Structure 1
Amino acid sequence: MTMTPEQASSFHETFGRLVSGVEQVLLGKTFVVRLGFIALFSEGHLLLEDFPGTGKTSLARAIAQSLDGSSNRIQFTPDLLPGDITGVSIYDQRSGAFDFHHGPVFANVVLADEINRASPKTQAALLEVMEEGRVTVDGETHPVDAPFMVIATQNPIEQAGTYRLPEAQLDRFLLKASIGYPDHASTVRILEGAGVRAHDTVVPAVITAKEVVELAALVRTVHVDPSINDYVSRLVEATRSAVEVRLGVSVRGALALVRAAKTLAAASGRHYVVPDDIKSLAEAVLAHRLVLDPEAEFDGVTASSIIAQLLLETPPPSDRQAV
């Protein structure tokens, strides 16, 4: 079954209301807000990397509030333990059995604030549940809530005492984005509301957690023409042969790009993917999956610039089959 034009139009309307609500908190950053909800409906996770004070935590909190579901915030610190995230089994003397106490990861939206400040062992505990959708403690498996989305933040500065996420763990994030500083007009609007703290702004819930699950299932039915799959395959293969790249994009990255493109198509009111969907999301989905050659990094080459160049060199399909 393929999404119908009517269903695409309805999804577009719902998506627009979600974005409009969050934009009350994060002014002038429509594209980044859209990326957050693309990750949600693509059943993926979002990594926000930017300088302090750009609104990373506010964006994550606003996305959580826009859903009538549960949300938790975890402040990552060097002394945070895996059990502080997943939960622990505690012996109950009255019953003579171990009772599992759920950790903060059991929520629809989990904000992992400054994830690179925790130890690799603690990071791995979160990234495992991100991939598997369940927690195993003392041999017993506990599924997390649905939908389940992790929004992690990290700062590119103040690296002393932090633990950089390995490339294999970065690959677990569907999208990586940077918010950046607001433009002049948005800054003026923010200053006009300086009397209201960001924490005091509550974004009204637009949809329920159950509706998110249903819409995510609907998004999976968006039509993808074989020529689009061929385009993505050629683009991914080009990352592996680029001279500046030591490790290119895996098949997981290609699948992630198609999944995200389906959501963007539906958010745009279409029931089929077009090449521009791939182009719009290529950097956010693929750049953080590249491992650059050290000499290229020394010369100032970035993963984003490589993706931009490959998009210019890889011709998109010129036509598509009828849906």
Structure 2
Amino acid sequence: MPGEFTLIDRYFARPTPSAVLGPGDDCALVQPTPGKQLAVTTDMLVAGTHFFPDTDPERLGWKALAVNLSDLAAMGATPRWVTLAGALPTVDEAWLAKFATGFFACAERFGVDVIGGDTTRGPLNLCITAMGEVAPGQALTRSGAQTGDLIWVSGRPGLAALGLAHLQGRVALPEPWPRLCVTQLEKPQPRVALGQALVGLASAAIDVSDGLLADLGHIAERSGCAAAVRLVQLPHLPKGAEYNADLRRIALECQLAGGDDYELCFTAPGSATQAIGQLAARLDLPLWCIGEMHAGEAGNVTVFDPDGKPVSFEQTGYDHFAHG
């Protein structure tokens, strides 16, 4: 059975042209671009919590990196370097080869170098640290929203949670939604180009990882204001002959509180609406205006039905500890 360093060399040692010194020493050495700040984020993916143990390893490799790049996208940062640490229950070289294929495909797609990491034996657990660059004072944060700003979200939040519900047998999705939703769950697309384009345009931003309402609530709390979301302005989800009341209810819950979408939710003044529309066309990415920020209790998010009446939801997002 190959040892730890053999596995690293075989599957994860790749050229790192952007690093001064890549894997092989006690530390990697990187040289940030002069005049830039470093943005650093770390995420863990744990088998049984963030993904099914039998998830396709190539897709898992992609997602493990993509969710970290999504955090950089939310700050408007340019991805540069990543490290990967993982606990593996056994040495399965076929699994490792496929995982590495997906991981490095994502790295190549978004122009990042894998500059180090670690492996150990244990329950399947993946931990990635990603580093990016942003001009001083230009990073998008959660605290910049102003009363009167409009609320936007990219893509179609809810698809990933619907994909999970489909795999768990909690919902039967009409065609062609199953493949679309499961792909969104297993191979999310970090909105790096959108985040970079929103610098100087958006007032605040966050990536939707724990649920749209919960993550929007973080913007509202950090910005010291409240948020209103209009159901009639949300993106459309599955429709068709099998789109019954039960599916409609589950789809709405997934859209507002499901999480795992890795779309960007952001705020911007009304004067930016035309520029945002042009940006959507340029990126070929739907951008939806779903509500507005207003004066009120900091962090409060209210959802309004088509008649303008507030609607309450038992859950607004995912909490690892609340879910035991």
TM over 0.5: no
TM-score (structure 1 length as normaliser): 0.25
Specify which structure has the higher proportion of strand: 2
TM-score (structure 2 length as normaliser): 0.25
